[in-house]
Amino acid sequence: MIAILLIGIAVVAVFYAVGLYNHLVTIKHAVAKAWANIDVLLKQRHDELPKLVEVCKQYKQFEQDTLQKVIAARNQVQSARQSQDISALGQAEGLLRAGLGSIFAIAEAYPELKANDNYMQLQNRITGLENAIADRRELYNDAVNINNVQIEVFPASLIAKMFNFSDQPLLEFSSAEKADVDMKQLFN
């Protein structure tokens, strides 16, 4: 009778451990999926930015320094995206978003640029992508938080350590990106 009870307890423990393992695998893949969703949007934006820069370049007096900063930030985002360096991506995103904000603000001084259909379509497309990226960042950070909590709680932490599940970095932003926007500076 005791042997049957011990076997029953062992079977339940094995099923419980398998369930925990499967749960951790599901969470790990949710993080990967959330990252892949961000990656797709970053790639789309990466492809749209040169078009925006080209349209702006048609207006010779448009500030070349601003365009160069956007191109450099775009390249940094691409590099961080390809290497999946989350902390570098957060910093590069801050630079790129500031550069885009500058382009959109400076464009206000160019009525013929603002009237250009290509410019307006690109601005709307990039703004839409920015909003979608922000939504996906939130989902990614939620998935990462769930992952990081689950690999630390007992008894899941035992399974996580056994099978080398690791915590993932949150996609965080620089303090400059979180600061209030100085509207006077944008229009000077």
Q: Is the pLDDT of residue 178 over 50?
A: no
Rounded distance between C-alpha atoms, residue 100 and residue 124, angstroms: 12
What CA–CA distance (Å, rounded) separates 153 from 161? 11
pLDDT of residue 136: 92
Instruction: Output b/e per residue, 152-173; b: 16+ Cβ within 10 A.
Output: eeeebeebbeeeebeebebbee
Pick from 105, 100, 114, 113: which is nearest to 48 by CA?
Answer: 100
Domains detected in the chain: 13-186 (1.20.1440.20)
Residue 65 confidence (pLDDT) above 70: yes
Q: Is the pLDDT of residue 175 over 60?
A: no
Characterize 75-92 residue by residue with b for buried, 16 or more Cβ atoms within 10 angstroms of its Cβ, and e for exposed.
Answer: ebbbebbeeeebeebbbb
Tell me what pLDDT residue 187 has: 43
The residue that leads in pLDDT, 77 or 113, is 77
Q: pLDDT tier at 60 (50, 70, 90 boundaries)? A: low
Band of the pLDDT at 160, cuts 50, 70, 90?
Answer: very high
What would the mean pLDDT of 174-183 be, rounded to a whole number?
A: 48
Separation between Cα atoms, residue 131 and residue 162, nearest integer Å: 39
Q: Which pLDDT band, with edges at 50, 70 and 90, does 186 fall under?
A: very low
| C-alpha to C-alpha distance for 87 and 26, rounded to whole angstroms | 24
Element (H, E) at 165: none
Given a cut of 90, whether residue 143 has pLDDT beyond it is yes
Give the Cα separation of 177 and 188 in Å (integer). Answer: 20
* pLDDT above 80 for 183: no
At 90-142, the pLDDT tens digits run: 888 888 888 888 888 877 777 777 777 888 888 888 889 888 988 999 999 99
